[in-house]
A and B are shown apart, each in its own frame.
Chain A
Amino acid sequence: MLYRTAGQFKTSYKKDQALFPVRQDATLLALILGLAWIVFPFMASEFAFQTLLIPVLVYSLAALGLNILTGFAGQLSLGTGAFMGVGAYACYKMITIFPEMNLIVAVLLSGFFSSIVGVAFGLPSLRIKGFYLAIATLAAQFFLVWMFEKVGWLYNYSNTGAIQVPNIDMFGVAVAGPLASSVTKYYFVLFIVTVVTVVMINLTRGTQGRIWKATRDMDIAAELIGINLLKSKLTAFAVSSYVVGVSGALFVFLWRGAAEPNLFDISLSFRVLFIAIIGGLGSIMGNFLGAILIVALPVVLNILPELFGIEIASATVEHLNIMIIGSLIIFFLIIEPHGLARLWALIREKLIIWPFPH
């Protein structure tokens, strides 16, 4: 009864193409943004910031980047982890070379480096298709992680081979490094994620988004109606890697605090791919839903036995976690292969006609 679209008439094309044609959607989003911007920062504990809120945002952004490539432009990628690494290392090099640099600028610039690498590894997509294309991104995945290990310049020849985030101030407030508080880190990540998401929503519903979708659905047909496949696929790689790179910089600078090369290995790529697929390919909101599920699941599974007073060895919990995550992935794929976003769309349709389904 709350969710009624009746009576909301669109009297002009402009209104029809509006971002939120239905008033309730806009209200719901405002509510979520209000929660994220105002309520959570006051309510959340240190634990919640570090294990839930910041990771969810960072993973959502990474999945959003991957979704541009895989969900919108239809090019499978298994190298997301390495592209996140490129963003992180680029940001690290910029910050250590120019310590005065504003962190927002550094994070947003680091995406461009990842973008260049992404386009280079995306070039084969013009000839190689489907699962065979996975090899191009896998080559990127393994080659780049190897570079992070072997090229001393990237980690400033530190003994551990890892990168450490220094203390970074912005307008007199510590935003990254050991001194920064979780709340500032959270606001920083939230700001970037909000901005990038808004840009991506508009990009994917405009001309470029339609070009990508045409390429995804059938690239030969798209070429026949005059779409330049070279441009379409490479812009997809560039935009996707940009977003993934930015998320990688956030991943290290505002969440992990330090990173070793193997942090960016293939299991990170798969985690992001899970989020994108469970959330729903070709959906922006799905990334957030998927990230909430994948990030919160291990946390909940860790807390559950304690709640019921059952004593389980921590190793067993870890094994159970992997097992349950594996089964849940299969479970979600079976109940809704199109992801949580489609599930929400179904609920929405049901809500519109509830409580009189006929």
Chain B
Amino acid sequence: MEFLSKIFVDPFVDMVAYPDFFLQVLWEGLVSGILYSLIALGFVLIFRSSRIFNFAQGIMVVFAALTLVGLHEMGVPAWVSVALTLVVMFGLAFTIERVVLRPLVGQPDIILFMATIGITLFLIGFGELIFGGETKVMITEQLGIPTGRMRLDVFDGYISLEEKDLTAVAAAGTLVVGLLIFLNKTRMGRAIRALGDDHQAALSVGISLQTIWVLVWFVAGIIALVTGIAWGARANVSFALEIIAYKALPVLMLGGLESISGAIIGGLAIGLLEKLFELYWGQPLLGGNTETWFAYVLALIVLLFRPQGLFGEKIIERV
């Protein structure tokens, strides 16, 4: 009985007894959830337009952040290095399309997936070779991101919000809205969606596969840069961040591989739930550090009931 109450009663009692702590946990979960969503968004864009399961998205985040900081360390002003990083990300998108994707068109999914792991390894080696392997500090202040703390009084207590987290949330929101406008209202965006719906049909109305692929990888690169800045401001910039790339996988699976709203909702859900589980169940009962696997097990359980993810396209199989 006591054991059961530890699982089913005590955590909830805690939540009600200390609502300010509960809100703080929710906020932390929300912030990391938004960053998961951003990485997952990059995945979804590439998956929709090319059916490539892009494992390199997480590394692109680190690579973008590393390029930004590295350029700044070489004496380039902060905003110029942002622009230069965007140029680098475009170059990367172009090179990947030319060198890797074009020769591999039409190969089985797993081969393309392996190729993106190859890209991942290449980027790790390349980034460390040029900018050095040591951990770097994100140039938060130089980019004009506030670094203070805000105190919000609630329920006889308070929650403390970091201003850079607020900035990250705002930036992520803007990015998502901008992306939705781009995908729904512009010519290029509609071409991307057309390619996602039906490759053959899109090709036959004159949409260029190559251009769209470069474009999609570039957009994924922009998303990676924003994520990189936001994440780098919270933790330092190093290739240890690649662990967040693995976190984006369950987010994707939970939301469905094709769905943009799925990526956002999946990211938020996983961010929130894994923080709650860790603090109310993981640390008291299981010895902590449950964040390493919770997201995967959650996604697995959801997939058992909905094999295509929450918002994915229904899988229709024909013989």
| A interface residues with partner B (beta carbon < 8 Å) | 70, 76, 124, 127-132, 134-136, 138-139, 141-143, 145-146, 149-150, 218, 220-221, 224, 266, 270, 273-274, 277, 281, 315-316, 319-330, 333-334, 337
- Asked if B119 is at the interface of the complex by the 8 Å CB criterion, the answer is yes
DSSP majority for the B interface? helix
| Shortest CB distance A44–B (Å) | 29
Q: Contact between B103 and A135 (Cβ–Cβ < 8 Å)?
A: no
- Asked if B205 is at the interface of the complex by the 8 Å CB criterion, the answer is no
Given A76-B110, A132-B253, 10 more contacts at CB 8 Å? A132-B307, A135-B250, A136-B303, A149-B289, A326-B120, A330-B119, A330-B122, A333-B118, A337-B108, A337-B111
Q: Contact between A323 and B296 (Cβ–Cβ < 8 Å)?
A: no
Q: Contact between A138 and B250 (Cβ–Cβ < 8 Å)?
A: yes
Q: Can you sample 7 A-B contacts with CB below 8 Å?
A: A124-B304, A129-B315, A135-B299, A139-B293, A220-B317, A326-B124, A333-B114
Q: Which residues of A contact B53 (CB under 8 A)?
A: 131
Give which listed residue, A135, A315, A330, contacts B303 with CB less than 8 A.
A135
| Shortest CB distance A148–B (Å) | 12
- Asked if B198 is at the interface of the complex by the 8 Å CB criterion, the answer is no
Q: Contact between B125 and A319 (Cβ–Cβ < 8 Å)?
A: yes
Q: How far is the CA of A221 from the CA of B319 in the complex (A)?
A: 6
| Shortest CB distance B269–A (Å) | 15
Q: How far is the CA of A340 from the CA of B24 in the complex (A)?
A: 54
Q: For the complex, count residues of B whose C-beta is within 8 A of A.
A: 50
Q: Which of B64-72, B77-85, B86-94, B126-134 forms contacts with chain A?
A: B126-134
Q: Which residues of A contact B17 (CB under 8 A)?
A: none
Q: Contact between B110 and A277 (Cβ–Cβ < 8 Å)?
A: yes
Q: Which residues of A contact B124 (CB under 8 A)?
A: 322-323, 326
Q: Contact between A146 and B296 (Cβ–Cβ < 8 Å)?
A: no
Q: Which residues of B contact A218 (CB under 8 A)?
A: 319
Residue of A nearest to B296 (CB): A139
- Closest 5 interchain pairs by CB? A323-B125, A326-B121, A326-B122, A322-B125, A329-B118
| Shortest CB distance B236–A (Å) | 19
Q: How far is the CA of A36 from the CA of B107 in the complex (A)?
A: 36
Q: Contact between A315 and B293 (Cβ–Cβ < 8 Å)?
A: no
Q: How far is the CA of A248 from the CA of B83 in the complex (A)?
A: 48
| B interface residues with partner A (beta carbon < 8 Å) | 53, 99-100, 103-104, 107-111, 113-115, 117-126, 128-129, 133, 246, 249-250, 253, 257, 286-287, 289-290, 292-293, 296-297, 299-300, 303-304, 307-309, 315, 317-319
Q: Contact between B249 and A138 (Cβ–Cβ < 8 Å)?
A: yes
Contact flag A146-B292 (CB < 8 Å), given A132-B309, A326-B125: yes
Q: Contact between B107 and A337 (Cβ–Cβ < 8 Å)?
A: yes
Q: Contact between A139 and B297 (Cβ–Cβ < 8 Å)?
A: yes
Q: Contact between A127 and B117 (Cβ–Cβ < 8 Å)?
A: no
Q: Which residues of B contact A128 (CB under 8 A)?
A: 303-304, 307
Q: How far is the CA of A270 from the CA of B118 in the complex (A)?
A: 10
Q: Contact between A143 and B297 (Cβ–Cβ < 8 Å)?
A: yes
Q: How far is the CA of A319 from the CA of B122 in the complex (A)?
A: 9
Q: How far is the CA of A218 from the CA of B317 in the complex (A)?
A: 10
| Shortest CB distance B139–A (Å) | 23
Residue of A nearest to B102 (CB): A334
Residue of A nearest to B132 (CB): A315
Q: Which residues of A contact B128 (CB under 8 A)?
A: 319, 322
Q: Contact between A274 and B114 (Cβ–Cβ < 8 Å)?
A: yes
Contact flag A135-B129 (CB < 8 Å), given A270-B117, A329-B121: no
Q: Contact between B319 and A150 (Cβ–Cβ < 8 Å)?
A: no
Q: Which residues of A contact B319 (CB under 8 A)?
A: 218, 220-221, 224
Q: Which residues of A contact B300 (CB under 8 A)?
A: 124, 135-136, 139
Q: Contact between A333 and B121 (Cβ–Cβ < 8 Å)?
A: no
| Shortest CB distance B132–A (Å) | 9
Q: Contact between A124 and B303 (Cβ–Cβ < 8 Å)?
A: yes
Q: How far is the CA of A70 from the CA of B120 in the complex (A)?
A: 22
Contact flag A330-B118 (CB < 8 Å), given A138-B296, A321-B125: yes
Q: How far is the CA of A129 from the CA of B309 in the complex (A)?
A: 11
Q: Contact between B114 and A273 (Cβ–Cβ < 8 Å)?
A: yes
Q: Which residues of A contact B121 (CB under 8 A)?
A: 322-323, 325-326, 329
